[in-house]
Structure 1
Amino acid sequence: MLALHKLQTQFAQAMLDPGGKGSELPIRANGLSAARRLQVYRNNLFASLTGALRACYPVINRLLGERFFDWAAKHYIRDYPSTSGNLHDFGREYAEFIRAFPPAAELVYLADVARLEWTYQEAFHAPEPDAFKLDELSSVPPDRYGELCFKLHPASRLLVSEYPILHIWQVNQPGCDGMVDLSEGGVNLLVIRRGLAIQIEALSVGEYALLENLAQGHVMSYAAEHALKAEPALDLPRCLRRHVARRTIVGFEL
């Protein structure tokens, strides 16, 4: 009798090995050989995980085409086997995978589009924040504003790319079409869930620098300094008010 851990390890290896027969596993034939039984299970596993990847990366699926996507998915499933019992976690390393996948090397923007789609997924499943008590903020003395450490919405993510990935994402939505010129340049993005809707917003370089530094836990004076260094003309008070009003910023510490 195999120990449970060894049995599970051998079974997982047999699932990921396309030629694996699982000869060491105690599988009863009962009309089908052990290899055939494993192949049926393996086919179901790969179909399920490929479907999960397609649900996370619909734009990548459209850019690559379904047959190419399915073929690449087989490589991903074997190279990055799931380590979580939560199917929502599967696909986290897909951008890393597709960046290094030689058959897709000519599509230089693909990994960043994948990062955007995974960020969308993360924002969708992130928790809701506690209510932001604005009256507490109004009680902070003006001479201590620079010491404020603002907290971003837990369902917000920041993303920067040298490619026009937002435009690529937009023209590849259902019912949409169009061409994208890569010379449009890069974007700074905020991906955030507001209510039940995921929104993707393009940010100026200063606005991005402000939110990025706040997300990293820096105090307001530090974040403001770097925001204005990136974009000297940034209207900092207006920018801050907008993100408080739109609940990008949902709390603070002093």
Structure 2
Amino acid sequence: MRPAGRSNSSRYTMLLAELQDAFAAAVAGGEGEALKSWIVEGGVKVDRRLEVYRNNMHHNLREALRGVYSVVEQLVGKAFFDGAASRYIDSHPSASGDLNVYGGAFPAFLQHFPPAAALAYLPDVARLEWALHECLHAADHPPLELVRLEQVPIESHAALVFRLHPACRLLSSSFPVLRIWEWHQTCGQRDGMLDISGEGGHLLVRRSGDTAECCALAEADLVLLHAMSEGESLAAALGRALGADPGFDLAGSLLRHVAQQTLVDFRVAASTASGSTPCG
């Protein structure tokens, strides 16, 4: 690609960034008129050249979605999935050259995609698949050493602010999405029909070694971890958990999540106000 038919004084009036933006917009489906004077056809029309780029881009993005949402595709079939993916790509252009970060809004798209309206569980299955995908590609973090916690004075416990491992995600659904997902991992060795009846639940999705796994969570555990993920203090997070379950065992929950590397770091925030929920 080079400027065609322009004088030396005007060849560089379009900055490189502007040229790149125009090319990206044209490949994404916009007008290519702004590029025509910058492209030497060489026997191939500019529109045709852009169409080749456009088709390649759509193919790559569609295959990226297919790689993440394999269970969604199994649920709806290849033709339906390809159609939904194409609609999504048209309305959600990629903002990065890294295909691993593309597709995070696909679950929300499916929730408002009229042809999928009869499959109410589909968006939550997609959310689970995206959570698994994110956990696989998230950064690593060293485990939290219990000796650090032991060194925190008791009077500062309420002000502890924990950090979740970057490769952890929390998910709630009114549908049995984990059962649906697991049923589609059997590589054709399935007995009977998939039963999607029954209640949903709460899940902790996390990376374990080179794979991602799902663990069922009680509601109070979910509430605690969600509050921590939003930067709330231990006292505030405990208050929320006790609201979900007055008999919640904080000590047992903390030990479990530190041992499982759900919680990997902490800091001591400013002093909490008097009257905060005790954390003993």
Output the CA distance in 2 between the equivalents of 1:247 and 1:10.
46
Deviation at 1:196, TM superposition (A): 2.3
Deviations along 1:196-244, whole A, 9 cap, x unmatched?
A: 2211111011111111111111222221222122123333322221111
**Which residue of 2 is the match for residue 115 of structure 1?**
127
TM-score by length of 1: 0.90
Q: TM-score, normalised by structure 2?
A: 0.82
Residue range with higher mean Cα deviation, 229-238 or 160-169 = 229-238
Which SS does the other structure have where 2:216 is aligned?
A: strand
CA deviation profile, 1:67-126 (whole Å, cap 9, x unmatched): 111111111111000111222111121112111111111111111111111111211111
- AA in 2 matched with 1:188: H
Q: Contact conserved, 1:23 with 1:34, CA < 8 A, in 2?
A: no
Question: Aligned with 1:158: secondary structure?
Answer: strand
Aligned partner of 2:250 in structure 1 is 236
After TM superposition, list the pairs within 5 Å mapping 1:70-149 onto structure 2: 70-149=82-161
* Structure 2: segments with no counterpart, 5+ residues: 1-10, 269-280
The alpha-carbon deviation at position 180 of structure 1 amounts to 4.2
Q: CA deviation at 1:135?
A: 1.1
The answer on 1:170 being equivalent to 2:182 is yes
If you compute each CA radius of gyration, which structure gives the higher value, 1 or 2?
A: 2
Q: For 1:173 and 1:40, locate their aligned partners in 2 and report how far apart those are by CA, in whole Å.
A: 35
1:43 partner amino acid? N
Q: What's the counterpart of residue 212 of structure 1?
A: 226
Contact persistence 2:164–2:263 (CA under 8 A): yes
Which residue is 2:198 aligned to?
184
Determine what percentage of the aligned residue pairs are the same residue. Answer: 42
Distance 2:245 2:193 in 1: 30
Q: 1:225 aligned to 2:239?
A: yes
Query: Distance between the aligned counterparts of 2:243 and 2:214, measured in 1?
Result: 25
Structure 1, unpaired ranges of 5+: none
Give yes or no for contact 2:22–2:32 (8 Å, CA) kept in 1: no
Instruction: Give CA deviations for 1:129-159 in whole Å, capped at 9, x if unaligned.
Output: 1342221211223343222222211111111
Residues 171, 179 of structure 1: 8 Å contact kept? no
Pairing 1:60–2:60 present: no
* CA distance, structure 2, for counterparts of residue 233 and residue 171 of structure 1: 34
Which letter maps to 1:157?
Answer: R
Q: Which moved more, 1:72-81 or 1:193-202?
A: 193-202
1:42 — aligned with what?
54
